[in-house]
């Protein structure tokens, strides 16, 4: 299993190539940085998903006899078709959840690489 961290760093198992062989400590530093970035991405996407879930529920709970507005840029536009709005919001939520799954999987892979590198340091 290979991981690509940047244009010039690839980890396949415990090997990294940047012209010369990187030390295990350098590899570990790269992986730690990537784990932190992956965790930030997971956190951001989860927050966006939670916000979107709240918006969907608010639209569903909004009384039908009251007008509903949607922000587009700096302008509020009255929504005439709530069903279409709900479908758009739910589609966006499904897309976000798909991204979240991929980010969580990437985070797991990076943590696995981190554990392998850490173990190789303690063995050395």
* Domain architecture of the chain: domains with CATH: 2-118 (1.10.287.370)
Total-model pTM: 0.73
Can you read off the two tokens belonging to residue 17? Answer: 């190539």
CA dihedral for 98, 43, 16, 12, sign (positive or negative): negative
Percent of the residues in the chain that have a pLDDT greater than 90, as a whole number: 70
Neighbouring residues of 5: CB distance < 8 A, sequence distance ≥ 6: 11, 30, 31, 34
- Hey, is 43 helix, strand or coil? helix
Tell me how far the alpha carbon of residue 32 is from its chain's centroid. Answer: 17
Q: Which residues pair with 78 in a beta bridge?
A: 69
Check: CB of residue 34 under 8 Å from CB of residue 44: no
Tell me how far the alpha carbon of residue 89 is from its chain's centroid. Answer: 18
53-105 pLDDT, tens digit per residue, is 999 999 999 999 999 999 999 999 999 999 999 999 999 999 999 999 999 99
25-47 pLDDT, tens digit per residue, is 888 899 999 999 999 999 999 99
């Amino acid at each position: 299993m290979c991981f690509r961290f940047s244009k010039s760093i690839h980890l396949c198992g415990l090997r990294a190539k940047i012209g010369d062989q990187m030390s295990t400590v350098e590899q570990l530093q790269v992986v730690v940085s990537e784990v932190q970035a992956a965790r930030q991405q997971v956190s951001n996407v989860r927050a966006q998903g939670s916000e979107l879930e709240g918006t969907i529920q608010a639209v569903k709970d909004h009384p039908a006899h009251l007008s509903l507005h949607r922000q587009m840029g700096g302008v509020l536009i009255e929504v005439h078709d709530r069903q279409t709005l709900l479908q758009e919001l739910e589609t966006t939520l499904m897309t976000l959840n798909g991204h979240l799954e991929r980010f969580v999987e990437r985070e797991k892979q990076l943590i696995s690489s981190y554990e392998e590198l850490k173990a190789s340091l303690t063995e050395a």
